[in-house]
Structures are given as structure tokens and as C-alpha cells.
Amino acid sequence: MAKREEYNACMRPYITGKKDKETRKLDFCVGAKMCSGKAKDKDEARTICLNAPPKPPKERKRRRKVESDCEIGVEAIDCVINKLLAREINTEEEIKEILFACFGGN
């Protein structure tokens, strides 16, 4: 874990303080190159960062609309509830009759 702590300590001066967006990006890149050992000095790190092509923006994932296999209308549900409350149900067949009646089945 010491390597990560060392890297974080090395990066601290490059990521602290108030800076404009472009300066912050460049300082972060320079710090990353220096602290990871990819550059020997700040000038080399700065050259690498300025010559590097910009990264493409991350593609956001879109939420897919979940489509239901069965579409049930509020009226049909209301019909079932009212019919179930209106009578005493003793068998599965009685429930099926109510469902068929309310959902337009035969």
C-alpha cells in the first residue's frame, strides 16, 4: 500500500490550490507523469502532456425503457378489485371468470 500512499503524497502539490480548468488539467497531467516515473523532469512531463492527443469524452450509458409483456389498464384492475370485493371467492375458477370478464377474455 506504500506505493499508492507515496504516489498520492507526490501528487498533492500538483492537485491543490485554486487554478483555472486548463491549468489544473495540465498540472495534474504533469504531476501524474512525474509521480509515476514516466518523465524525468517537469519539462519532459509538460512536453508529453502538451503533445498528447486529447482523450475522447466518455460515452454515457442510456437508460433503456423496460417494456412490459402485458399492458394492464387501470380500468381493468379496478374492475377486478370491485368484483373481488363484491362477492366471496371460493375457487380458482371464480377468479378466472372475474379476470376474463374484466380483461376482455372469453
Higher confidence at residue 106 or residue 100? 100
Distance (Å, whole) CA 36 – CA 7: 7
**60 pLDDT band (50/70/90 cuts)?**
confident
pLDDT at 1: 47
Mean pLDDT of 63-89: 78
pLDDT at 32: 93
pLDDT at 69: 57
Q: How many CB atoms lie within 10 A of CB 1?
A: 5
Q: 61-83 b/e with 16+ CB inside 10 Å = b?
A: eeeeeeeeeeeeeeeeeebbeeb
**Taking the alpha carbons of 53, 41, 10, 21 in that order, is the dihedral positive or negative?**
negative
Residue 52 has what DSSP assignment?
Answer: S
For 39-57, what is each residue's pLDDT tens digit? 999 999 999 999 988 888 8
Percent of the chain beyond pLDDT 90? Answer: 34
